[in-house]
Amino acid sequence: MLTRIQVQWHFLKRLLSFPKYPRYITDLYLRWCFPSLLRRQGIVAGAGITWYGKPILARWDGSSLSIGDDCRICSRTLDTALGINHAVVLRTLAPGAEIRIGSGVRMSGTTICAKKSVIIGDRCVIGANVTIVDTNFHSLDPLVRSSPQDALDAQTAPVVIGKDVFIGMGSYILKGVTIGDGAVIGAGSVVTKTFLPRSIVAGNPARQVGDI
């Protein structure tokens, strides 16, 4: 048990940790102010979410963005072993688009963009710097790509990630992919097709290398 002098010394050390003040202020903001800001923006955030640093959340009018209970969203490199390249980015890109994240999901430096639909099941673990998108963003035709029609011509297909999926760091989950419950995606994979539950997947392009 700490003595009174030890308690006072620990408090003094924290008080004198000036470089940490911005972090303390950010944490207070995320705990007390951020949830109400999200509600005003039409973003649904469940109970018990832990925000490590401030994410980038953008909801297009007429679209939906929801995060389930007890998620851990890490946008600060000091709070994850591998570090991250940037804050978490969750962004819908068109009216009617949907990003739905289940309960108990953990992610660090993740980017999720949905022009149609990205759905992530409960208890998924998404490693550092993973990208999940349901669109090509640009046309495959170079003439269209140089025109105002570019984004409208981009191919789009929903992404569905089941429950209890682990996605290794630096992986890319691309349009039209469904990943079954309990699957494991190896680090650095580029997933372009559907995989069954409890598959072990790795590579570029990703292929099944085993089962659980």
Round to whole Å and give the CA distance between 66 and 92. Answer: 11
Sign of the alpha-carbon dihedral angle for 188, 97, 154, 55? negative
The answer to whether 117 touches 135, Cβ cutoff 8 Å, is no
**Positions marked catalytic:** 138
Read off φ and ψ for residue 113, nearest 5 degrees.
Answer: -125, 130
140 Cβ contact partners less than 8 Å away, ≥ 6 residues apart: 155
Compute how many other C-beta atoms are within 10 angstroms of the C-beta atom of residue 115. Answer: 25
Instruction: Say whether the peptide bond before residue 95 is cis (omega within 30 degrees of 0).
Output: no
